[in-house]
Structure 1
Amino acid sequence: MSIKRALVSVSDKTGIVDFCRELSQLGVEIISTGGTKNLLAKEGVPVIGISDVTGFPEILDGRVKTLHPAVHSGLLAVRDSAEHQAQMKELGLDYIDLVVVNLYPFQETIAKPDVAYEDAIENIDIGGPTMLRSAAKNHAFVSVVVDSDDYSTVIEEIRGAGDTTLETRKRLAAKVFRHTAAYDALISDYLSNVNGDPLPERFTVTYEKLQDLRYGENPHQKAAFYRKPLAGADTITTAEQLHGKELSYNNINDANAALQIVKEFEEPAVVAVKHMNPCGVGVGKSIYEAYEKAYQADPVSIFGGIIAANRIIDEDTANQLKDIFLEIILAPGFTQEALDILTKKKNIRLLKLGGLELGGDRKSQYVVTSIDGGMVIQESDTHSVTESDLKVVTDRKPTEEELKQLLFGWKVVKHVKSNAIVLAKDDMTIGVGAGQMNRVGSAKIAIEQAGDKVQGSALASDAYFPMGDTVEVAAKAGVTAIIQPGGSIRDEESIQMANKYGIAMVFTGIRHFKH
């Protein structure tokens, strides 16, 4: 067999003129539609209009032009079937050997701010996916190209043998079905959300690969990094890497964890993360002051960690950052002086983020977590509390300073693996207890880490105390204020224990489990 006829209809016209010119020079007859046909003719590439093939005009503003038996019989006919050959000959139909199609820009359309619903619907391609699927199904005989990156391979194989190899056709067909599946998933997601049904009976997701990773959590595990279409500018997936070696699987997860915490704060803040948990969080009047507090929170664990800042990194802060080993620094930007300092460290990764959405009013997203045999989906936890949301349940009310530290600790504890306890003082974390099987164990870890700083500190707990023991341990260590959700059948036991030691305790009514 050889490729004699090609049907070309593309929305993204990158490289299409040169590709079709080479096809024509190789003796391939080119059929085309609408804007693609006009462009090829203008550039002097011989082209036949689709209406000359179908005997039917393009109608309904171009909505119907390739949905015709003359097109799809040419794509779907089994070339080594005597019956198919006879029918094609009887009806005066000809084969189409190559399809080059990419689809209406639906993703680009819905990415526009305040896009009109009607515009989104108009950019749902019908004929394009139909041709792609017909050609891909019949890839034993038909070549199909949906990606301009494959133009050169197809030309080389036609030039060498007059046709593509079966191996190439199989690969291109698989790419087509991935492409149309992703296209339909995006449309489905858009329409589901427009109709107020973000968790429908069938949940289809699509992601585009950013890069293959060297390995996963461990060297024996394969891994890759993907981005969701229309991902926000303030995500790791859209960050610009300014310096350093390739990101690893663990880097990406830790950096994402750090970013989610630092976005909690409207004031200058710095977060240090190790193994998905914060080891130091600080806020200050400047990013330099915030970093100093984050560092002092745990100067041991920060070594080899990930740093996230919600302000531009300046020269003074960079001079401090360069003195320890860090895997990643991510921030909205870096001054030139800071870059000059930090890029002298060969392996450190510097990531520049888009405009950060900060504070408690951030829009919640849906988070997909894989499990063996399926997945679970939930809204991201962007809930925040203010002073007016708190309920004082003890005899003593928190002081103004204690209240400030309680709210600070509450912003952090929601990002710590449960069971989670955070100790806060002077606008910084001084102790973090994460991932223990009981709450007392997390409290003891946080208290031990805090050392003498625990005196006069505020404690935040991601969930209620099932009994009064955690309150007593905290009180004996020197904690003076506690914030927790409340809601235990034994809340009164914890309240009485707090009253016994003169602790001020407030309830939020909101739990922040993080598994």
Structure 2
Amino acid sequence: MSKSPATASFERKPVRRALISVSDKTDLASLGQALVAAGVQIVATSSTVAALDEAGVAAVRVEDVTGFPELLGGRVKTLHPAIHAGLLVKQDDPVGLAELEGLDLAPFDLVVVNLYPFAATLRGCGSHENLIEMIDIGGPTMIRAAAKNYSSVACITSPTQYPDLIDALRNGGTTAEQRRTWATSAFQQVADYDVEIANWLTAGEDPTAVTRPWFGTTYQLRKSLRYGENPHQLAALYTSGSEPQGIASAQVLGGKALSYNNLQDADAALRAVNTVDYAPGVAIIKHANPCGIAVADNLTDAYRKALASDPISAFGGVVALNRSVDADTAEQIIQVFTEVVIAPGFTEDALKILRSRANLRILECATGTAGHQLRPLSGGLLIQTSDSTGAEDEFASWDLVAGEAVSEQTARDLQFAWYACLPVKSNAIVLVKNQATVGIGMGQVSRVDAAQHAVTRAGAGAGARGAVAASDAFFPFPDGLQILADAGVRAVVAPGGSKNDHLVIEAARKAALSLYFTARRHFTH
């Protein structure tokens, strides 16, 4: 009577012969000792044999199995029928087993291989020659062979899998379910590896290139989410190995599970606070838009200023900070209902205070800008380099096109306003006083509406009179600028570039308003 699939999946297959070739020697000694204890014969490549020998574990050299020495400085070691026949033979096929026996070959029950550290070498800015040498050939070939034949062979590709393997050895062998799981992971790792290499070769000498004939990326599931933007939508969070930093990889230090909307807002908050990283800064985000951004000499003051920009909208928002959070700042944050707090670090006292709000999500996340921004759309993908401030965004490079040169303090506020404008959804107008937003008009379908919205929001806070303003793109007509001038704004920075720039400049002159053009815009859609 044949066994049911369920019974067969838990039936253990003994491990009699193993092939090991690892670049990462982490925990190799303990694995080797467990294999010896289980009576397993070990075949290994030269560097792995040396590491096992140091641990007192005997192993047969691959060259003694193949009859050939390692060739071309180690480029050719395992690429031989004596190795791959043992990996690919179906061990329930008597004809195949007889064929191997006739050639004095034996099957492998286990392969332990990890790949050369190509991605780490790439991130470490390795030379072209070093990167070429980090393209593993024998490793992926052994992995693919063993993983294809997972009905007969267990394929281990990471030291993190050793404990489960050692436990299996102690219990008499591996199960079909284990071998299938390890094979799945093996193919995923080879796919990640190949995509990293293909992207590097395709990009050539410019890793920031977005126009290329091919672009690939892979993602791994990090967690399932309760739901998406709305309760009837399914959602999950994935991480990309090519982007090791960011909200998706943030460490959760406290609070409820993150929702889809929490993560969207947290990503926007991190982007916003990154624009003002020259000083202790805070960004408060609601529905992916800033309702307050500020910098100060310390985080506590920066938080107070950001909150004052729009204390009503801050309720239920996300707070991002670009310095480690101390107790004083934490005390301020918990006075307002907040969904998420993000920072590069927290003192122990700050964590204790924040954790007193059981539902408050606390994320530790390094600041920094991703190399590329990817946005899926129906049938394809949009790719662009990340928008960030550069030399063209510095006050000294701007053109004064109307009014008098501003004071040093006003110049600092204009500079801050220009930075703070970057993460605001277009059309965007930002009003600033004393290195803090006082009114933000965001996501409007006309620049006039954005200007009016910013002035209205400022009226509920510190007021627009005496503020400076930034516009993320040019004023197509003078009407938007006129709204700012009528509200008492004294200086404005904008990209310029409209065919009606002369009319806008004339309106600024009549209003005795200082107007600077940057020749660089910061749309955010």
Give the TM-score range, shorter chain. 0.7 to 0.9
In structure 1, list runs of 5 or more residues that go unmatched: 358-362
Q: 1:105 aligns with which of 117, 140, 150?
A: 117
Could you list the per-position Cα deviations for residues 48-93 of structure 1 after superposition, in whole angstroms to 9, with x for gaps in the alignment? 2212211112233333211111111222335566775565355333
The Cα of 1:305 is off from its aligned counterpart by 1.5
TM-score normalised by structure 2 residue count? 0.86
Q: 1:372 aligns with which of 378, 389, 413?
A: 378
Q: Aligned residue for 2:473?
A: 463
Q: Go from structure 1 to structure 2 and tell me whether the alpha carbon gap of 1:372 and 1:162 turns closer, same or farther (over 3 Å shift).
A: same
Q: Go from structure 1 to structure 2 and tell me whether the alpha carbon gap of 1:364 and 1:383 turns closer, same or farther (over 3 Å shift).
A: farther
- Separation in 1, partners of 2:297, 2:94: 81
Q: Are the aligned partners of 1:258 and 1:271 in contact in 2 as well (CA < 8 Å)?
A: yes
- Separation in 2, partners of 1:401, 1:151: 61
Q: Go from structure 1 to structure 2 and tell me whether the alpha carbon gap of 1:353 and 1:143 turns closer, same or farther (over 3 Å shift).
A: closer
- Separation in 2, partners of 1:332, 1:96: 47
- Separation in 2, partners of 1:340, 1:327: 17
- Identify the range of structure 1 (152-161 vs 190-199) with the bigger mean alpha-carbon deviation: 152-161
The Cα of 1:378 is off from its aligned counterpart by 0.7
The Cα of 1:240 is off from its aligned counterpart by 4.3
Q: Aligned residue for 1:486?
A: 496
- Separation in 2, partners of 1:398, 1:17: 68
The Cα of 1:389 is off from its aligned counterpart by 2.1
**2:234 partner letter:** Q
**1:259 partner letter:** L
Q: Aligned residue for 1:360?
A: none
- Separation in 2, partners of 1:170, 1:336: 43
Q: Aligned residue for 2:261?
A: 250
Q: Go from structure 1 to structure 2 and tell me whether the alpha carbon gap of 1:336 and 1:16 turns closer, same or farther (over 3 Å shift).
A: closer
Q: Aligned residue for 2:521?
A: 511
Percentage identity across aligned positions? 42
**1:224 partner letter:** L
Q: Go from structure 1 to structure 2 and tell me whether the alpha carbon gap of 1:389 and 1:223 turns closer, same or farther (over 3 Å shift).
A: same
**1:369 partner letter:** R
Q: Go from structure 1 to structure 2 and tell me whether the alpha carbon gap of 1:321 and 1:158 turns closer, same or farther (over 3 Å shift).
A: closer
Q: Go from structure 1 to structure 2 and tell me whether the alpha carbon gap of 1:82 and 1:320 turns closer, same or farther (over 3 Å shift).
A: closer
**1:62 partner letter:** G
- Separation in 1, partners of 2:225, 2:136: 33
Q: Aligned residue for 2:154?
A: 143
**1:217 partner letter:** E
2:414 is aligned with 1:406: yes
Q: Are the aligned partners of 2:275 and 2:422 in contact in 1 as well (CA < 8 Å)?
A: no
Q: Go from structure 1 to structure 2 and tell me whether the alpha carbon gap of 1:474 and 1:43 turns closer, same or farther (over 3 Å shift).
A: closer
Q: Are the aligned partners of 1:463 and 1:513 in contact in 2 as well (CA < 8 Å)?
A: yes
Q: Are the aligned partners of 1:396 and 1:499 in contact in 2 as well (CA < 8 Å)?
A: no
3-state SS, counterpart of residue 362 of structure 2: strand
2:140 is aligned with 1:129: yes
Alignment of 1:111-122 (within 5 A): 111-112=123-124, 115-122=126-133
**1:320 partner letter:** Q
The Cα of 1:294 is off from its aligned counterpart by 0.6
3-state SS, counterpart of residue 353 of structure 2: helix
Q: Aligned residue for 1:417?
A: 425
- Separation in 2, partners of 1:160, 1:350: 41
3-state SS, counterpart of residue 454 of structure 1: coil
The Cα of 1:503 is off from its aligned counterpart by 2.8
Q: Are the aligned partners of 1:364 and 1:381 in contact in 2 as well (CA < 8 Å)?
A: no
RMSD: 3.0
Q: 1:434 aligns with which of 423, 442, 449?
A: 442
- Separation in 2, partners of 1:160, 1:332: 44
Number of aligned positions between the proteins: 505
**1:231 partner letter:** P
The Cα of 1:212 is off from its aligned counterpart by 4.2
- Identify the range of structure 1 (263-272 vs 412-421) with the bigger mean alpha-carbon deviation: 263-272
Q: Go from structure 1 to structure 2 and tell me whether the alpha carbon gap of 1:132 and 1:511 turns closer, same or farther (over 3 Å shift).
A: same
Q: Go from structure 1 to structure 2 and tell me whether the alpha carbon gap of 1:44 and 1:333 turns closer, same or farther (over 3 Å shift).
A: closer
In structure 2, list runs of 5 or more residues that go unmatched: 1-12
Q: 1:476 aligns with which of 479, 486, 500?
A: 486
Alignment of 1:106-505 (within 5 A): 106-112=118-124, 115-154=126-165, 164-165=175-176, 167-192=177-202, 195-196=205-206, 198-199=209-210, 200-219=212-231, 220-229=233-242, 231-232=244-245, 235-236=246-247, 239-265=250-276, 266-354=278-366, 365-384=371-390, 385-395=393-403, 397-398=405-406, 400-451=408-459, 453-505=463-515
Q: Go from structure 1 to structure 2 and tell me whether the alpha carbon gap of 1:424 and 1:492 turns closer, same or farther (over 3 Å shift).
A: same
Q: Are the aligned partners of 1:211 and 1:225 in contact in 2 as well (CA < 8 Å)?
A: yes
Q: Are the aligned partners of 1:364 and 1:382 in contact in 2 as well (CA < 8 Å)?
A: no
Q: Go from structure 1 to structure 2 and tell me whether the alpha carbon gap of 1:111 and 1:495 turns closer, same or farther (over 3 Å shift).
A: closer
Q: Are the aligned partners of 2:469 and 2:492 in contact in 1 as well (CA < 8 Å)?
A: yes
- Separation in 2, partners of 1:332, 1:150: 30
Could you list the per-position Cα deviations for residues 445-464 of structure 1 after superposition, in whole angstroms to 9, with x for gaps in the alignment? 21211117012222211111
2:88 is aligned with 1:76: yes
Q: Are the aligned partners of 1:408 and 1:427 in contact in 2 as well (CA < 8 Å)?
A: yes
Q: Are the aligned partners of 1:213 and 1:224 in contact in 2 as well (CA < 8 Å)?
A: yes
3-state SS, counterpart of residue 454 of structure 2: helix
Q: Aligned residue for 1:60?
A: 72
**1:93 partner letter:** L
The Cα of 1:131 is off from its aligned counterpart by 0.5
Q: Go from structure 1 to structure 2 and tell me whether the alpha carbon gap of 1:462 and 1:106 turns closer, same or farther (over 3 Å shift).
A: same
Could you list the per-position Cα deviations for residues 156-196 of structure 1 after superposition, in whole angstroms to 9, with x for gaps in the alignment? 6677675531x443332221111011112223344555622
- Identify the range of structure 1 (263-272 vs 331-340) with the bigger mean alpha-carbon deviation: 331-340
3-state SS, counterpart of residue 229 of structure 2: coil
Q: Are the aligned partners of 1:209 and 1:227 in contact in 2 as well (CA < 8 Å)?
A: no
